[in-house]
Structure 1
Amino acid sequence: MLTLRKSAVSSPMIALIAALALAVVHQYLFFGHAPGLSFPLFTMVLYAYLFHDRKYPLRAVPGIGWFMLAVIVLLSMTYALFDNPLFRLLNLVVVPSLISLHMAYMRGARRLDWSDLRIVGEAFNHLLPQTFNHIPNVFRLLRIAMFRRFGTRQKSTLHKVLIGLVIAVPLLVLIIPLLASADGTFQRLLNAIPEWGGALSLDGIMARGVWIAICCVLFFGYFQGFAKPGKSRRTRMQPETADAASTKKLRIDPIILATLLISINAVYVLFVAVQFSYLFGASDGILPDGQTYAEYARSGFAELVVVSAINFALLMVSLVYGGKPGGRIAALLYVLIFCSGVMLYSAYMRLALYEEVYGYTYIRFLVQAFMIYLAFLLLLAALRIRTDLVPLSKCYIVLSLAAYVLVNYVGMDRIIAEKSIERFEESGQIDRDYLSGLSADAVPALVRYGRENADTAFINRLERHHGELLRSSGDWRSYNVSEQLARNALKEAYDK
């Protein structure tokens, strides 16, 4: 496990000032602006703040630490590279969650292994209880900073000044707009304030101030939970010791496990044998009597549900609680994996046929991606049966993170558009309504289709769905590569 070497820990006041600067950056990047290039920039600034009191020899950082950081950076970069609405929404949850887990692993008081499920509790402990425990320290630091150099009389005077300001602010909020509306000259005087200030209404200034204050307090509290965990550190170490004392694992009797696997495998082997004639023959038009393509595809999804809900559960229970698989148990598990793979491949082929007939959509693309993901999980399970050197839980975590990053970067909208165009070239069918509603990632390919096929009506439909790209000011904080490429494609189409 990584041993961290502290530098001279920054004082709480320095941490508070840095949190204020971070909060100002946060409101500048995100207040009134959609996340774009701003998201990866803020992620880097946030990490600089969270680790500003530590020195990390690069050789001491574990590989999984770099891997998690790479995943976080790559996912944050999607806001500047892609425009898929589903992943933009998901990553608003995924990226902060991964940052929290990464921090719990790298800086948590408990030195937990990265594959230990208790690291989720550690991350939650720092995210909420620890953060809120340190919030009162903000006001204590401010009080000390404001009054420690003042005498009794000066403190009394300062208190009175502050009271006067507190009373004056709400009155000014009411009076200034009234005066501005009552006198045009006064209004023009207000408008003559420098442009950076005049562009902000009083309501906007107050909203930004509240935004900065809340973010500053939360950033400081979260950081202090790692820098100075305080009295809760000892209590958090106790559950780990208690858990270590009770390491006895539940074991399933080999006879019970073998009986269960034989029963399940008998059904699966019979299922595959009976239906083998059309499991892989649908591409040649061989379908069960009376079934349509849609019914055939839906039955494949049902098989997938069975595979994921039952077979993987059996595999995990057998591998975790069945001990090291012996010769017979291992053979039964291989049969289970083989049958699962057959049904998974069948379901994948059915969905591929369904897409050829009915077109490509988000849900169909994601289901196919999930099937490929399940196939790799099956492969890892097969390797785990062969040798104990494969740490199944760690491999699953790494594979899951890598798969999620890959599906973010593969360009789902663009692939759907290109596949739909290929389908149009073969069958003459295309769903213009659905395709015109895809994100900016798909616009360049769809514009090319419209121009090559002289489909002016479709290009006009794209313009109606993505017209805001042509009218947007293009603020650098919301800059997005896909939106810029879509904007260029639409402009080029109209120029010609």
Structure 2
Amino acid sequence: MPASRKPLLGSSMTALLGAFALAAVHQYLFFDHDPGISFPLFIALLYVYLFHDWKDRLKETTGFGWFLFAVIVLLSLTYGLFHNPIFRALNLLAIPSLVFVHLAVLRGSKRVPWWDVGIVGEALAHLIPRSLLQIPRVFRVLRISLFRRLDSERQKTATKVAIGLVFATPLLFVVIPLLASADGAFNRLLNGVPGWISRFSLGELFGRLLWILVFGILFAIYFWSFAKPPRRRKTVSQADVTPPRKPGIDSVVLTTLLLAVNAVYLLFVAIQFTYLFGAWDGLLPDGTTYAEYARKGFGELVAVSAINFALLIVSLTFSGTKRGLLNALLYILVVCSGVMLISAYIRLAMYEEAYGYTYIRFLVHAFMIYLAFLLLIAALRIRTSLVPMAKCFIVLSLAAYTVVNYVGMDRLIAENNLSRFEETGRIDRYYLNKLSADAIPALVDFAMNREDAEMKKLLEANLGKLNRENRDWRSFNLSVYSANKALRTMNQL
């Protein structure tokens, strides 16, 4: 073998062995275990593997690269800190997706800017087609590494032996237990196997080995999809390049559209100001009750605000650079959208005061605050084109999603409902008992301070449910631990 191929083979073999080692850890952490503190631990090991050949180039990482890494780490830590079922499910999709995009940003062969929508296509290209092209490399590296010292004839023989063993392995998993059942002596011989192996059933052992094999190959081919250096492109003279024509919308058409929409919005806003700040004091439209006003039109207002935001983005993106009257119309659109958001926010707050706090209402509150910040960025973009709108939207969206994960939605819902009980005497104990473990300490304090027998009875059922959950360290969750501790303290009193 040429000397130049030895380092390449060595690095490929190191990557393959590392992939199977990572797969073995993945199997140990997640096979038959709920994700807990194991999730951030695996993310850390995954990044060590994916960047083990990039040690000298980490200084090339951009500010956004580090920001996205921080978001991924913080989201992975939520599996050890919180127990909200909605975010636990969403993050199983969000975290891998962000990892794929992060790798495309830092190591993608096409070097697509992180704010360009093309970065999603680059991430998918490395995830599927470029990874699949690396599958033969797995077997080529194994064949060369294992049989490189043999002559061609012996290599063929060794390859055939390996193929035979591959086919024999699943057959032996079936035959050996049958023979052990048929003959006591053979069974006693198998009982001499070390205890740590005998703990696994045949099906479980086969599942674990298959898990390691599949994920080991997946980790290796995904890593190799980045390891291959991109082809150098031929330099092209700037004079030979014709800049693509930016699509646009005729200013007359856009101005007419905004004039018509803003006329309706201004009339609506004028009517809203009549009731917007007087609803709390009972100043409501004729024939409308407090609860009806709080509920009626809320969803429509949020939907119209979202439509206005989309119209705003289209106008800023596809209009020309000279926008005198257009800018004024866009400012009016922003102000009207802001008033609609405030009206919807107040209506929702009133509705919660009347009917209580829930997951959906909390998330809609968060969405309206998020939309308000997006409108603020758009307003700044109207003022000056120096504001990088796409970059600001991406960073704000990632930051907002991370913050919502960390505010403790279940705990806040429980605390707000308990505060509402102090003022109104109304409470839905059965709904509160359905909240995740994040809310249990607050509910235990309420039950103990109020001597609420019904709440105590509902909470006691949670103790049995928490005890039935996997208590292995890999599934450790701080919220579950705190909830369990609070419930045990309540039972001891």
TM-score, length basis structure 2 = 0.91
Greater alpha carbon shift after TM alignment, 398-407 vs 426-435: 426-435
1:490 counterpart SS class: helix
What's 2:342 paired with? 345
Partner of 1:203: 203
Aligned residue in 2 for 1:123: 123
Paired residue total: 481
Greater shift after overlay, 167-176 or 401-410?
Answer: 167-176
In the alignment, the residues of structure 2 paired with residue 64 and residue 82 of structure 1 have an alpha-carbon distance, to the nearest angstrom, of 26
Bigger drift between 251-260 and 351-360 goes to: 251-260
Report the more deviating stretch, 14-23 or 399-408: 14-23
State the Cα distance separating 1:423 from its structure 2 match: 0.7
Q: Deviations over 1:288-337 (max 9, x none)?
A: 2333414542402201101102x112211211111336332222111111
Name which of structure 1's ranges 372-381 and 254-263 shifts more when overlaid on structure 2: 254-263
* Cα deviation code 1:193-228 (max 9, x no counterpart): 433222211111110111111101111111101001
User: What amino acid sits opposite 2:201 in the alignment?
Assistant: S
* Equivalent position SS for 1:200: coil
- Note closer, same or farther for the CA distance 1:19–1:166 as it changes in structure 2 (3 Å cut): closer
Q: Is the 8 A contact 2:414 2:439 kept in 1?
A: yes
1:403-457 C-alpha deviation (Å, 9 max, x unpaired):
0000000000000000011011111111111111111111111111111111233
2:362 counterpart of 1:368: no
Match of 1:4 in 2: none
Distance in 2, Cα, partners of 1:345 & 1:391: 26
SS of 2:128's partner is helix
1:303-314 equivalent positions in 2, closer than 5 A: 303-309=301-307, 311-314=308-311
Q: CA deviation at 1:374?
A: 0.6
1:440–1:483 Cα contact (<8 Å) kept: yes
Q: Counterpart amino acid of 1:105?
A: V
Could you give the per-residue CA deviations for residues 438-494 of structure 1, whole angstroms, max 9, x where no partner exists?
Answer: 111111111111111112332221232452322445211111111111111111111
> Counterpart of 2:26?
26
Whether the 8 Å contact between 2:75 and 2:405 is mirrored in structure 1 is yes
Say what the alpha-carbon RMSD is for the aligned residues: 2.4
CA–CA distance in structure 2, aligned partners of residues 452 and 299 of structure 1? 39
Q: Distance in 1 between the 2:151 and 2:57 partners?
A: 46
Whether the aligned pair in 1 keeps the contact of 2:348 and 2:361 (CA below 8 Å) is: yes
Name the structure 2 match of 1:302. 300
2:218 pairs with 1:218: yes
SS at match of 2:133: helix
**In structure 1, distance between residues paired with 2:185 and 2:430:** 53
Q: Residue type of the partner of 1:428?
A: G
User: 394, 401, 409: which is aligned to 2:391?
Assistant: 394
Question: Which residue of the partner structure matches residue 3 of structure 2?
Answer: none
The structure-2 alpha-carbon separation of the partners of 1:246 and 1:121, relative to structure 1 and needing over 3 Å to count, comes to: farther
Secondary structure in 1 matching 2:275: helix
How far apart are 1:71 and its partner, in Å?
0.6
1:430 aligns with 2:431: no
Distance 2:168 2:213 in 1: 20
Question: Aligned in 2, Cα 1:435/1:185: closer, same or farther, shift over 3 Å?
Answer: farther
Matched, 1:478 2:475: yes
Unaligned segments of structure 2, at least 5 residues: 1-6
Contact 2:65/2:106 (8 A) holds in 1: yes
Change (3 A) 1:356 1:92: same
The corresponding residue for 2:441 is 444
Q: Is the 8 A contact 2:147 2:155 kept in 1?
A: yes
| CA distance 1:341–1:174, shift in 2 (3 Å) | same
**2: CA distance, partners of 1:181 / 1:291:** 78
CA-to-aligned-CA distance 1:245-286 (integer Å, 9 cap, x gap): 553212333333222222111111111112321123221222
Whole-Å Cα distance in 2 between the matches of residues 183 and 473 of structure 1?
A: 37
In structure 1, what is the Cα distance between the partners aligned to 2:169 and 2:39?
Answer: 34
Q: Deviations over 1:99-151 (max 9, x none)?
A: 11111010011122110111111000000001111011111111222222224
Supply the distance in 1 between the matched residues of 2:377 and 2:477 (Cα, whole angstroms).
Answer: 37
Deviation for aligned residue 1:171: 4.5
Deviations, residues 356-403 of structure 1 (Å, cap 9, x unaligned) = 110111000000000000110111111111112211111000000000
- 5+ unaligned residues in a row in structure 1: which ranges? 1-7
Question: Residue 148 of structure 2 aligns with which residue?
Answer: 148
> Kindly tell me: are residues 412 and 454 of structure 1, through their superposed partners in 2, closer, same or farther at Cα, counting changes over 3 Å?
same
1:437/1:465 contact within 8 Å kept: no
Deviation at 1:48, TM superposition (A): 0.9
| Matched-pair contact (CA < 8 Å) for 1:319–1:325 | no
Distance in 1, Cα, partners of 2:82 & 2:394: 25
Distance change (3 Å), C-alpha of 1:403 and 1:184: same
Aligned residue type for 1:30 = F
Distance 1:70 1:492 in 2: 36
Deviation at 1:70, TM superposition (A): 0.6
Equivalent position to 1:405, from 402, 407, 418: 402
Does structure 2 conserve the Cα–Cα contact (< 8 Å) formed by 1:300 and 1:347? yes
Rate the CA distance shift 1:471–1:225 in 2: closer, same or farther, 3 A: same
Q: Give me the whole-angstrom Cα distance separating, in 1, the residues matched to 2:58 and 2:100.
A: 21
Query: Is contact 1:37–1:480 with CA below 8 Å preserved after alignment?
Result: yes
CA distance in 1, matches of 2:189, 2:481: 39
* SS class of match (1:11): helix
Cα–Cα, structure 1 residues 159 and 62, in superposed 2: closer, same or farther, change >3 Å?
closer
Is the alpha carbon distance of 1:466 and 1:374 closer, same or farther for their aligned partners in structure 2, counting shifts above 3 Å? farther
What is residue 76 of structure 1 aligned with on the other side? 76
Could you tell me which amino acid in structure 2 is paired with residue 321 of structure 1?
A: F
- Residue 87 of structure 1 corresponds to which residue in structure 2? 87
Contact 1:130 1:229 (8 Å CA) reproduced: no
Read off the aligned partner of 1:200 and give its amino acid letter: F
User: Which of 416, 420, 423 lines up with 2:413 in the alignment?
Assistant: 416
> Using the alignment, how far apart are the partners of 2:68 and 2:293 within structure 1?
42
Task: Give the Cα–Cα distance (whole angstroms) in 2 for the partners of residues 377 and 163 of structure 1.
Answer: 59
Q: Which amino acid aligns with 2:388?
A: P
Secondary structure of 2:122 counterpart = helix
Change (3 A) 1:354 1:149: same
Partner of 2:377: 380
What's the TM-score, normalizing by structure 1?
Answer: 0.91
1:139 is matched with which residue? 139
1:319 partner letter:
L
Q: Name the % identity.
A: 56
- Any residues of structure 2 matched to 1:323-342 within 5 Å, and which? 323-324=320-321, 326-342=323-339
Match in the other structure for 2:288: 291
* Contact 2:293-2:347 within 8 A present in 1 as well: no
Kindly indicate whether the alpha-carbon contact (under 8 Å) linking 1:78 and 1:409 is maintained by their aligned counterparts in 2. Answer: yes
With over 3 angstroms needed to count, the CA separation of the structure-2 counterparts of 1:156 and 1:313, relative to structure 1, is closer
Q: What secondary structure does 2:134 align onto?
A: helix
Indicate the SS of the match to 2:114: coil
TM-aligned CA distance change 1:135 to 1:170, over 3 Å = closer
